[in-house]
Structure 1
Amino acid sequence: MKKTKKFILVLSLIAAMFLTFVAIDSTTNLTNTVQASSVSFPKNMRGHWKSKPTYTWQKKHINKWMAIPAMDMKVTAKKATWHFVGYLPKGMGYNHKKYVLRMSNSNGILKGHGPFGQTNSFEIRGKKLILFYQGGGMITFNKAR
């Protein structure tokens, strides 16, 4: 009787160890994780987007008081290309070059050259696309017609 109890105990321990190794292997297996190349922008984010310039606290909306210039952004399945358009405030480091942002994971975190740092993310709110950038700021885009 004691031998059968010991035998059953040993078999149950071996089965438990096997199930533990299978569970650990399935969580660390690279084929189960989402690869960055397979992550794409949702279809409602894709298209041509435009933002309006942001002005400082002064009442007159003239180029003299512009804080952030207008932006154009084109979002495809794999990348978002953006650049500043129109008047650019002098001495602020703005230029008309085109930059690329790519989705790094399925949480909406973007990597690449953003307008104000490397940490960026997108969100859709109604019919507006919002770009959140490093430091807590955001830029609101409207669909270009």
Structure 2
Amino acid sequence: MAKKVLESKTSKAEKISNSTKSKKKWSSGKVAEAVKRHERVEDDIFNKIVKDVKNMRILTRTTLSERYNLSLNISIKLLRFLEENQIIKLISSHRGSKIYAGSKYEPLKVVEQPKEVEATVDNDQEWA
């Protein structure tokens, strides 16, 4: 068998540094840009919100914050204010999420189904 020619450490280091293949760079991936939301509601925006909210079927804090570029805290306070002034109506409230409707829309009333009566069997009768 042929003997392997040993290379010095310096020659190996030179080969590595002169190689055309570059090191892999890890990317952090695509980063979504943070949206700057308004912390205050100006008069013209407030009037527009009051006008539009009356015609909306479903209102939540996220719909207000996304549509009018408001922070969530401001949209929650705005919904409470609109409900107190009877511009919108509360439809459902469960834990942290509340669903509202505009004043033009009446929530559907649920009609309860009558309960079924269980049939009783007399033990005295015999079945043929």
Fold shared per TM-score above 0.5:
no
* TM-score bracket for this pair, using the shorter chain length: under 0.3
> TM-score, with normalisation over the residues of structure 2?
0.27
Instruction: Find the structure with the greater CA-based Rg.
Output: 2
Q: Which structure shows the higher strand fraction?
A: 1
Tell me which of the two structures has the higher relative contact order, counting C-alpha pairs closer than 8 angstroms and 6 or more residues apart: 2
